[in-house]
Amino acid sequence: MKKLNGKIVDEEELEEEEEKKKVVETHSNGVGVSVGFPQPDQNLVVGYALTVKKETSFLKPNFRGLARTKGIKFVCIDVNRPLSDQGPFDVVLHKLLAKEWCEIIEDYRHKHPEVTVLDPPDAIQHLRNRKSMLQGVVDLNLSDCHGKVGVPRQIVVTKDPSSIPYEVTKAGLKLPLVAKPLLVDGTAKSHKLFVAYDQLSLAELEPPLVLQEFVNHGGIVFKVYIVGESITVVRRFSLPNHGKRDLSKVAGMYPVPRVSSYLSSAEDADLDPSIAEHPPRPLLEKLATELRRRLGLRLFNIDMIREHGTRDVFYVIDINYFPGYGKMPDYERVFTEFLLSLVQSKYKESTFLKSSF
């Protein structure tokens, strides 16, 4: 992490394509957006602390324009100044990983309970470790929601690489295995995944890491975006299935492209319906509700796969805090409505408390 003109620059590779910046004349919900649009009498002030890359991909001109028409004002937080000296804010939106920042925002939360912080640093911390990341899914019972959700079998390896083949055999894991760095720290390295096809290649891996059994899923992953109560699902291409015959011809270890790096989504692809069908809505709603409660987060996404050859067996393979919402369809409207709902909830709560006295 580095500071640049008071902003934070992370070490991740820049996203492959940035949409051309523009202010849309007409939004999909029929709200006109233009530079000279009259400003509302009252503003919702959202302070944000994001990396330069995140600010560019998330706070696009068309999103800012729509938010402005609804009275939402985005203000960049200067990390070189005390946070309490800035604002006042109604909402603080952040995704910085430095320990110093986490301490600052945690202190701010306690001193300013009237401000909604998205999200609490201690809750975010659970998603920065792939051991704790999926723990909330392990004991879920969603059998009455038109499907089953689990986690692929996995182990955590923190010891010397030469012990990995033994640990895998001891745990009874079957090849191929997906190797993921244990910590998600915002660097490009923390997102580098590998698929290991034989025992010998396992010793080439660098702990600490998580080894997860590869589950055939028809080459499709479902990106489930959560924004408060809103759920949006997008299909993306993923790794192809591996048959026994294929595995007999493959050896070694190969890097896995990031799901977010696939240039095109799979929404319009001509796919077998048994592969393309989205997970059942009741299942997603129950899963999202449970994870919101267990994680204590309102902004995250779930990477889900359907086990190939089944219709209702799903696995959660990753959970990410504050993902790339800029790639989510209609995110401008969804996020704008979410921010407004936070104010409405506070107003109702305040009105209720006043009427109680």
- Least confident range of 9-13, 292-296, 331-335: 9-13
Judge contact between 39 and 68, C-beta under 8 A: yes
Is 47 annotated for ligand binding?
A: no
In sequence order, what are the beta bridge partners of 48?
76, 93
Alpha-carbon span 292 to 355, nearest angstrom: 30
Is 219 annotated for ligand binding?
A: yes
Alpha-carbon span 347 to 154, nearest angstrom: 45
Confidence of residue 3 (pLDDT cuts 50, 70, 90): low
Judge contact between 48 and 357, C-beta under 8 A: no
For the segment 90-94, the average pLDDT, to the nearest whole number, is 97
Is 308 annotated for ligand binding?
A: no
Confidence of residue 270 (pLDDT cuts 50, 70, 90): confident
Lateral strand order in the sheet of 148-150: 148-150, 313-321, 299-306, 220-227, 230-237
Is 223 annotated for ligand binding?
A: yes
User: What homologous superfamily is domain 128-327 in, according to CATH?
Assistant: ATP-grasp fold, B domain (3.30.470.20)
Structure tokens at 207: 């702990």
Is 303 annotated for ligand binding?
A: yes
Is 33 annotated for ligand binding?
A: no
Confidence of residue 249 (pLDDT cuts 50, 70, 90): low
Is 75 annotated for ligand binding?
A: no
Residue 190 to residues 22, 158, 162: CA-CA distances in angstroms?
32, 15, 21
Is 217 annotated for ligand binding?
A: yes
Is 212 annotated for ligand binding?
A: yes
Is 346 annotated for ligand binding?
A: no
Reference 93, options 44, 49, 43, 45; nearest CA is 49
Is 64 annotated for ligand binding?
A: no
Is 210 annotated for ligand binding?
A: no
In sequence order, what are the beta bridge partners of 300?
226, 321
Is 238 annotated for ligand binding?
A: yes
- Least confident range of 36-50, 183-197, 257-271: 257-271
Alpha-carbon span 142 to 16, nearest angstrom: 36
Is 36 annotated for ligand binding?
A: no
Structure tokens at 323: 């993902």
State yes or no: cis peptide before 88, omega within 30 of 0: yes
Is 214 annotated for ligand binding?
A: yes
Alpha-carbon span 283 to 303, nearest angstrom: 14
Structure tokens at 25: 């004349």
CATH of 2-12+24-118, one of 1.10.150.120, 3.30.300.30, 3.40.50.11370, 3.40.50.300: 3.40.50.11370
Confidence of residue 220 (pLDDT cuts 50, 70, 90): very high
Task: Quick: pLDDT tens for 173-186.
Answer: 999 999 999 999 87
Alpha-carbon span 267 to 270, nearest angstrom: 9
Lateral strand order in the sheet of 177-181: 154-157, 209-213, 177-181, 193-196, 253-256
Give me the pLDDT at residue 42, please: 59
134 exposure class (CB count in 10 Å sphere: 0-12, 13-18, 19+)? buried
For the segment 254-279, the average pLDDT, to the nearest whole number, is 75
- Least confident range of 134-148, 158-172, 221-235, 302-316: 134-148
Judge contact between 234 and 267, C-beta under 8 A: yes
Is 199 annotated for ligand binding?
A: no
Judge contact between 346 and 116, C-beta under 8 A: yes
Alpha-carbon span 184 to 189, nearest angstrom: 9
- Least confident range of 18-27, 49-58, 99-108, 258-267: 18-27
Give me the pLDDT at residue 245, please: 63
Is 213 annotated for ligand binding?
A: yes
State the Cα torsion 240-245-250-254 to the nearest 10°: 20
Q: Any idea where the domains of the chain sit in the sequence?
A: 2-12+24-118, 128-327
Place of tokens 């602390």: 49
State the Cα torsion 306-311-312-315 to the nearest 10°: -10
Is 106 annotated for ligand binding?
A: no
Give me the pLDDT at residue 31, please: 35
